[in-house]
Amino acid sequence: MSATDNDRAMVLASFVADSLALGAHWIYDTALIEKQFGRVD
């Protein structure tokens, strides 16, 4: 893979990680997070 491919993969991976975390991001009640999303480590 070229440096450009690695850069693109890194940016896309950060978008995926951000979107996965976004659902529980603004919920501060840990019991509610576990109820809606399961265990979040």
pLDDT in tens, 14-29: 999 888 877 777 778 8
Note down the domain range covering 9: 3-37
Radius of gyration of the chain (CA): 15
Q: How many Å apart are CA 16 and CA 39, to the nearest integer?
A: 19
> With 80 as the cut, is the pLDDT of residue 40 above it?
no
Q: Are 36 and 24 in contact (CB under 8 A)?
A: yes
Q: What percent of the chain has pLDDT over 70?
A: 90
pTM higher than 0.85 for the full model? no
> With 80 as the cut, is the pLDDT of residue 41 above it?
no
Domain count, the chain: 1
Rounded to an integer, the average pLDDT of 1-23 is 88
> With 80 as the cut, is the pLDDT of residue 9 above it?
yes
